[in-house]
Every structure is written in structure tokens, then in C-alpha cells.
Amino acid sequence: MLRPRIIPCLLLSDGGLVKTRRFADPKYVGDPINAVRIFNEKEVDELIVLDIGATRHGKAPDHALIARMANECRMPLCYGGGIASEDEVDRIISLGVEKVSLSAAALADPSLIDRSARRVGTQSIVVTLDIRKTGLLGGQSVVTHNGTRKTGRKPLDVAAEMQARGAGEIVVNMVDRDGEMGGYDLDFVARMREAVTIPVTLLGGAGSLDDIAALIRQEGIIGAAAGSLFVFKGKYRAVLINYPNREEKDALLSRAGFGG
């Protein structure tokens, strides 16, 4: 039986892990290899790792670090950051990564999705859309380069195009909710689920397991991703890598209508 996925998202910057708020003010939270080992022990469903400085600063992916993470990882691993060609997609997959996340490069040249999907298969191609509110009327637009560049494009239109070109999954990353821990944007994800038929993962806003349960209750089989929730503990945001144990996860899914 297909089940929702509960997914920690780790942010890399200069080889270390950081956590941001609204894509700003990065706080150092630890070593990526140590975090992977802890998440192995906690039997997480999947892991997303995004290098937030690579594309913004024109850096290539850190292949040695990616290879180390992939070698340690005992769960499916999705990596994004600094990937600008189908050859790079191929190389990342060859390091042992299951999924490659494309963002700015896919917006600049959507045919990259077609070429990459032909190389490694649609199941390995994820498009991450960083979405920010625009204007006074509550409109939303896709941004790139860690939120520093506007595209002027509407998220639902971009998602539909990326699906048509061969993307196997859309990760929706809500900039205005990043690190705020005030809950997911359930209205927006409902619209996204109507726009595409491929799997969708929502990132940005989770502050508790109840937030994850609410998302799953509404959307069913979906990816529920979180950063702050799984690297901080308590109102003072003490750094602590955490994840629900099997009993907690079963209880969460039961509350969301998926049984034990």
C-alpha cells in the first residue's frame, strides 16, 4: 500500500548544515554526515539535501561530499544544488543518489528536464519550485537562486510544464513559511495537486507533527517535508536532530486516516 512520506530536508552551505528563516539568516546546525547517520537510525522515509549556496554563487556540486552522504544513506536520497546540465544529473545519480532536484537551471532551460529524464528516467527527476508571495493581492511567483531572483512565472503553470517535460515529482518550497514553523499552506498545495498528477512534496511551515497530520489528512498520499521541525527542539530552537519513532509515526498516520 502506498503511504505518505515524512521527509527531513537538510540545507548545505560551505559543507555544513544550516537552517534558514524565509531563506535568510542561516544558522549552523551541524555536520551532514552525522545527520545522515542519525536519520538512518531513525529509519526516515526519505531525505532531501539542498545546497543553498551552489547555484546562487555559481559553484559546482561538492561531489566528494555527495558521494559520502550517498554511501552512508540507508534511505532514498534526493540532492539538489548547482546542477545545470544533464551530464551533471547523470554524474550525481552515478554517485548513488536516487533523485536529483532541479530548480534554477530548469526554469532557465526547461528542455533540461526532457534531456535529463531521457538519461536517468522520470522517477529520478524532481523539480523544486521556490514560491514567494508577490504584490498586495496574495499572488505567488516562482523565484530562484535561493530566493534572490524573480522569474515572474506562476507556480501552477511551471509545475504543469515540468510534468509535461518528464519531471517525476514536484517539491513545493514556500519561501514565506520557511523556518517559521506556523503550519503548511494547505490551500496552495490543494491547488497544486489539481494542476499535476505526479507526486507532490510540500516544504515550508511545519512546526509540529500535527501540521504533518493535517497535510496528510487533507491530501492523502503526499510528501510532507520539514527542516526546522527535524533539526530543532523546543521554543528556543536548540539543535537536535529528531524524527518520529515508529509508534509516533503510526499514531500520526492513524490521526490522518491511514491506520497503523
Distance CA 245, CA 260 (A): 13
- Given the residues 130, 178, 185, 211, the one annotated as active site: 130
Q: Is 157 a catalytic residue?
A: no
Is residue 112 within 8 A of residue 83, CB to CB? The reply is: no
Would you please indicate which residues are annotated as catalytic (active-site) residues?
130
